[in-house]
Amino acid sequence: MHVLRHLIQNAIMAFPPVRNAASKYHHTGRNGDDAGVHDTLARYAGAGGSASFAGKAILELGPGQTPHVLLAMRAAGASRAVGADIQRYQEQEAAKEQGVEIALYDGARLPFPDATFDKVFSCDVMEHVRNPRPLVAEMRRVLVPGGTVFARVDLRDHYYLAVEDRWLTCLKFSTALWNSMTWYRSSYVNRLRLSDWNRVFAEAGFVADYAVIERSERLAELHDQGALPASALRLDRDDASTYRFDVWLTAAK
């Protein structure tokens, strides 16, 4: 990773007009891919299938250019389908005409009253959140008693998604330097590992049930050999090898 180049790109992206112009070229969510939308919807539905959306008020964090999932939830009988995003996209505006609500927020404070939603969902979003602890606490706040959260979280360095050996490269930089390189860019990741997310969920008062934990055999092998980059040597085997997970969160009793 060329540090100077990333510092310059991040500095340029700090200007809102530049970010707004760049958003036209973002590829977020499923981008209208019907098969991808179906897969995401199935993950959100869980064992209950689409019937689990009927009569429910639902919030999706970061729908991006894919309000199609929210549209499908409305079609399945959701009483309310709301997307909260930090960026406005043209596709979101079109979805409003079909009963989907879109709210802009600052990435930390959700603009809804307490106990508003039955279900909160996010797919490949939480790793990009700049302030994960307050946002997870906000997710708990806006849930009704007995409500649930589903999140799919991708822990890989998003600058090297195609290079398995480099999925932990993001850990090599100090927090200050990493933020200076990536804070305003769409591929920013907050670098939390599985154990970190466990603590964040527990601190917010959630019980986590991991439906899927995906681990890299290659990174596990490098861990066992002591061949990971120096910045990743502190990780235990699970944290070093886990690159993605699906989790259901319920409020602790």
Q: Give me the percent of the chain exceeding a pLDDT of 90.
A: 69
β-pairing, 206-215 with 143-154? unpaired
- Going by pLDDT thresholds of 50, 70 and 90, the confidence category of residue 133 is very high
Query: Between these two residues, 52 and 30, which has the higher pLDDT value?
Result: 52
Q: What is the pLDDT of residue 249?
A: 97
pTM score: 0.91
Task: Give the Cβ contact number of residue 106 at 10 Å.
Answer: 11
What are the structural domains, with CATH classification, of the chain?
3-155+177-215+242-251 (3.40.50.150)
Q: Give me the percent of the chain exceeding a pLDDT of 70.
A: 91
CA distance 91 to 68: 9
Whether 150 and 46 have beta carbons less than 8 Å apart is answered as: yes
Average pLDDT in the 181-191 region?
94
Give pLDDT tens digits for 163-183. Answer: 999 999 999 999 999 999 999
**pLDDT at residue 25 above 70?**
no
CA distance 73 to 75: 5
Q: What is the pLDDT of residue 186?
A: 87
**pLDDT at residue 99 above 90?**
no
Q: What is the pLDDT of residue 92?
A: 63
Q: DSSP class of residue 161?
A: T
- Going by pLDDT thresholds of 50, 70 and 90, the confidence category of residue 65 is confident
Q: What is the pLDDT of residue 91?
A: 63
**pLDDT at residue 54 above 90?**
yes
**pLDDT at residue 93 above 80?**
no
Q: What is the pLDDT of residue 134?
A: 96
CA distance 147 to 119: 6
**pLDDT at residue 212 above 60?**
yes
Residue whose C-alpha is closest to residue 84's, from 139, 40, 32: 139
Token pair, residue 4, equals: 């100077």
β-pairing, 57-61 with 80-85? parallel
Local structure of 199: helix, strand or coil? helix
Query: Between these two residues, 194 and 34, which has the higher pLDDT value?
Result: 194
**pLDDT at residue 36 above 90?**
no
Q: What is the pLDDT of residue 94?
A: 67
- Going by pLDDT thresholds of 50, 70 and 90, the confidence category of residue 230 is confident
